[in-house]
Amino acid sequence: MTTRVLFRCECCGACPDVATQRTLEGQLLDRSIAEYLDARPGGWLIWTGGGAFGAKRYACAQHRPDLTDRLRRQYGATPPIGPERGMASLAERALPGRYVPRR
């Protein structure tokens, strides 16, 4: 059975053009966490979300600023985490006023 993934702008409900649709489909297996990705050629914005950062979100070129503003209000200034950025442990990161035992 064939399936088709439908992407819609979170703000206006617009659908991407064919080339951008292919780009969006190609990023579905991307495992990055809490990153912004560009979906060319239509200029769509993808918020990868994941875990505490929620589901993936999509915005058309006209609503990119709206999505980023909404995410900044929702999550604030979160530390960049992820396997490539040393997600090994936020608990091991020295935070101001927090005791971190020596190894």
Domain ranges in the chain? 18-78
**pLDDT of the chain along its 103 residues, tens only?**
888 899 999 999 999 999 999 999 999 888 888 899 999 999 999 999 888 888 999 999 999 999 999 988 888 755 555 554 544 444 444 444 444 455 5
Dihedral sign, Cα of residue 43, residue 6, residue 1, residue 18 = negative
Decide if 69 contacts 59 (C-beta within 8 A). no
Q: Is the pTM value of this prediction over 0.75?
A: no
And the tokens for 81?
A: 């985490």
- pLDDT score of 89: 42
3-state DSSP percent of the chain in helix, strand and coil, to 5? 30, 10, 60
Q: Which of 8, 14, 32 is nearest to 85 (CA)?
A: 32
> What pLDDT is attached to residue 101?
52
